[in-house]
RNA sequence: CCAGAUUUAGCUUAAUAAGGUUUUAAAGCGCUGGACUUGGACUCCAGGAGAUGUAGGUUCGAAUCCUACAAUUUGGACCA
């Protein structure tokens, strides 16, 4: 295996794939478009999941589980919804195999055809709303705030590790409310949770916004999104929260009795983030030396390396430091492998993104210090063994902040206001990133711009300032700027 | 799904511009055992295992040429 990985500015896609391989996050499986998430990668996902789950529960949501299979007829009950997913569904048609009468191996038993074909869920709105119909009869049953952690399948034609795979893991929240306002508030609150999670835990700055009609979830009245900017200047839609209005309630006849004894349709939301966040995490922070993980999500936050190899004296100090760190809630590993040299270990743990490395050698011990190397800046310093645990706790915090600030600075530097079409094209071509420009509000213009430049409207930022202007393409009046970018 | 590229052992690569001499497909790394080693992927000794993506075709003879399929990959179309 080569020592170095491909550099970001040489071939970003290749770099991304190599990081995943070398950091042992995931690998391709024997099934086309599906990946194996390896223990290291899954540990990061579990850390993300644990925090998100906590945040959902804190705001009154509960977990449940709905079936993997959805009767085909369910999917077609909401017209826009089915249209959005029809082209990427895996369909179960049979339930039995038999020995091939003409040869070796197994074939599908033609007599075992299902009466109604089943769709492997691409998302669960339909099966869930079919269920909610029975659960909701009174205003007393509302709001209904349910989340599920599940896998879904979307038959993608072109896949990329974590960013777009045929099967992926996610959470999908599905809520029912008595009033429109309550449902809209729910969708926005979840967006806030997503943004908070992305920024505080993933150290990934995001723009909160709403999608244009064209980019909206199939079946939603409003789609809120968090958009992040990757190091290659492309945007990543990282989480979405949808206000579904009464579309699904009407399609599945979900009505409740108000206090006034009147029958009303409920108001709905759905929202989700997926293992795609892993892709965002990798691309936001990592560098040409490998993966960089923010301390709050790193399965191992500190690694201790004995130089040149473990001995009694070094072990004693290492175990003491480990115990002190563990007592402070820091996850730490002591690399006692005697078959690898320190230099190899340094590079290996850098590749895997461990935030802090401690090196302990005889010379260090004589001086009562250890070497502390931080992954984000690659800076090294000697620190006294005495009180090292407090130093590390602060350092982890500092690294977490630095990663966020660094990513934010990148995004700020790569968000460009443009007012002319020529400028739009040249910035997109030469610099990339978000382009903040006026848009006349029509789908027609949006599609035209996409056709001409491949840039789409990522979102209309929630905090954008009102500002009269002229559409960058058509010159028609505009109420404010929107964010354009090429996207994953 | 469209266009291009790729596919030889766990990984990386070799096998003359050209199908054939000992091609009985070669090697390095990794693996196993040992030595050495106080700061960046060493070095040395010993050991064992391992491959031409799949299916056809051309040929006296195919890793090498052709076709199809598959997977991967880059760019695109499509896509919450």
Answer yes or no: is A11 CB < 7 A from strand B.
yes
Phi first, then psi, for residue A245 (nearest 5°) are 60, -135
The residues, ordered by sequence, that sit 6+ positions from A122 with a Cβ below 8 Å of its Cβ are A85, A88, A89, A152, A153, A154
Domain membership of residue A293 (yes or no) is no
Q: How many CA atoms lie within 13 A of A113 on its CB side?
A: 3
Whether A366 and A449 map to the same domain: the answer is: no
Answer yes or no: is A240 CB < 7 A from strand B.
yes
Identify the domain containing residue A339 by its residue range.
300-394
Structure tokens belonging to residue A14: 């290749």
Our count of domains for chain A comes to: 3
pLDDT for A103 equals 66
Answer yes or no: is A12 CB < 7 A from strand B.
yes
Whether A105 and A32 map to the same domain: the answer is: yes
Whether A124 and A228 map to the same domain: the answer is: yes
CATH number at residue A355: 3.40.50.800
Whether A265 and A349 map to the same domain: the answer is: no
pLDDT for A106 equals 77
Whether A336 and A274 map to the same domain: the answer is: no
CATH number at residue A91: 3.30.930.10
Answer yes or no: is A87 CB < 7 A from strand B.
yes
CATH number at residue A428: 3.30.110.30
- Pairwise CA distance, residues A300 & A423, whole Å: 45
Answer yes or no: is A65 CB < 7 A from strand B.
no
pLDDT for A96 equals 86
- Indicate the helix (H) or strand (E) that contains A407: helix A388-413
Tens of pLDDT, residue by residue over A419-478, are 999 999 999 988 999 999 999 999 999 999 998 999 999 999 999 988 999 999 999 999
pLDDT for A46 equals 96
- Identify any residues that bridge with A358 across adjacent strands, giving them in sequence order: A304, A372
In this prediction, what percent of chain A has a pLDDT beyond 90? 77
Domain membership of residue A372 (yes or no) is yes
Q: Any alpha helices (H) in A136-216, and if so which ranges?
A: 180-196
Nucleotide nearest A366 (Cα, C1'): B38
Looking at A394, A427, A450, which one is the last position of a domain? A394
Closest CA to A280 of A201, A204, A224, A191: A204
Cα A215 to Cα A80, A309, A447, A450: the distances in Å are 13, 56, 10, 12
Whether A276 and A306 map to the same domain: the answer is: no
Answer yes or no: is A167 CB < 7 A from strand B.
no
Chain B, protein-covered positions (CB within 7 A): 1-2, 10-12, 29, 31-32, 37-42, 70-80
Nucleotide nearest A378 (Cα, C1'): B40
Looking at A285, A316, A348, which one is the last position of a domain? A285
Strand pairing category for A332-334 and A167-177: unpaired
pLDDT for A293 equals 96
Nucleotide nearest A211 (Cα, C1'): B80
Residue nearest to nucleotide B2 (CA to C1'): A157
The residues, ordered by sequence, that sit 6+ positions from A436 with a Cβ below 8 Å of its Cβ are A415, A416, A417, A418, A481, A482, A483, A484
Residues (pLDDT < 50) of chain A are 1
Whether A376 and A438 map to the same domain: the answer is: no
Domain membership of residue A291 (yes or no) is no
Range A38-59 burial, b when 16+ CB lie within 10 A, else e = eebbbbbbebbbebbeebbeee
Domain membership of residue A322 (yes or no) is yes
Whether A197 and A328 map to the same domain: the answer is: no
- Indicate the helix (H) or strand (E) that contains A304: strand A302-307
Nucleotide nearest A274 (Cα, C1'): B80
Closest CA to A403 of A329, A295, A275: A295
Domain membership of residue A406 (yes or no) is no
């Amino acid at each position: 295996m080569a020592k170095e990985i491909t550099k970001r500015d040489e071939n970003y896609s290749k770099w991304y794939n190599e990081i995943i391989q070398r950091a042992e996050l995931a690998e391709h499986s024997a099934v086309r478009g599906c990946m194996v998430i390896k223990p290291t990668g899954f540990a990061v996902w579990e850390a993300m999941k644990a925090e998100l789950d906590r945040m959902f529960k804190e705001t009154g949501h509960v977990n449940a589980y709905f079936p993997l299979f959805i009767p085909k007829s369910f999917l077609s009950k909401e017209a826009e919804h089915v249209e959005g997913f029809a082209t990427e569904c895996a369909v179960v048609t049979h339930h039995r195999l038999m020995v091939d009468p003409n040869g070796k191996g197994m074939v599908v038993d033609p007599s075992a055809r299902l009466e109604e074909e089943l769709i492997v869920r691409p998302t669960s709105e339909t099966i869930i709303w079919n269920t909610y119909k029975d659960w909701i009869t009174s205003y007393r049953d509302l709001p209904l705030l349910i989340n599920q952690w599940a896998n879904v399948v979307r038959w993608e034609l072109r896949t990329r590790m974590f960013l777009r795979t045929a099967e992926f893991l996610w959470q999908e929240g599905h809520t029912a409310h008595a009033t429109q306002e309550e449902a809209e508030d729910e969708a926005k609150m979840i967006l806030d949770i997503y943004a908070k999670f992305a920024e505080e835990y993933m150290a990934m700055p995001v723009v909160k916004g709403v999608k244009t009609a064209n980019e909206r979830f199939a079946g939603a009245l409003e789609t809120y999104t968090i958009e992040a900017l990757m190091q290659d200047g492309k945007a990543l839609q990282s989480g979405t929260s949808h206000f579904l209005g009464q579309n699904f309630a009407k399609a599945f006849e979900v009505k409740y009795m108000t206090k006034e004894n009147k029958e009303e349709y409920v108001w709905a939301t759905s929202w989700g983030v997926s293992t795609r966040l892993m892709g965002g995490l990798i691309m936001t922070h990592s560098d040409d030396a490998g993966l960089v993980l923010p301390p709050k999500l790193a399965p191992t936050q500190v690694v201790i390396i004995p130089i040149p190899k473990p001995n009694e004296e070094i072990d004693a100090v290492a175990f003491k430091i480990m115990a002190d760190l563990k007592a402070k809630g820091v996850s730490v590993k002591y690399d006692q492998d005697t078959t690898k040299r320190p230099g190899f270990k340094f590079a290996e743990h850098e590749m895997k993104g461990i935030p802090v490395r401690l090196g302990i050698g005889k010379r260090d011990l004589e001086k009562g210090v250890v070497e502390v190397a931080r992954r984000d800046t690659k800076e090294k310093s000697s620190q006294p063994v005495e009180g090292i645990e407090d130093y590390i706790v602060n350092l982890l915090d500092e690294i977490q902040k630095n990663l966020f600030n660094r990513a934010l600075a990148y995004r700020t530097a790569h968000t460009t206001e443009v007012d002319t079409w020529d400028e739009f094209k040249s910035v997109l071509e030469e610099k990339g990133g978000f382009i903040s420009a006026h848009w006349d509000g029509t789908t027609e213009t949006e599609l035209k711009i996409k056709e001409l430049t491949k840039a789409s409207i990522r979102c209309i930022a929630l905090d954008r300032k009102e500002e009269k202007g002229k559409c960058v393409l058509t010159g028609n009046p505009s109420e404010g700027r929107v964010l354009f970018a090429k996207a994953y």
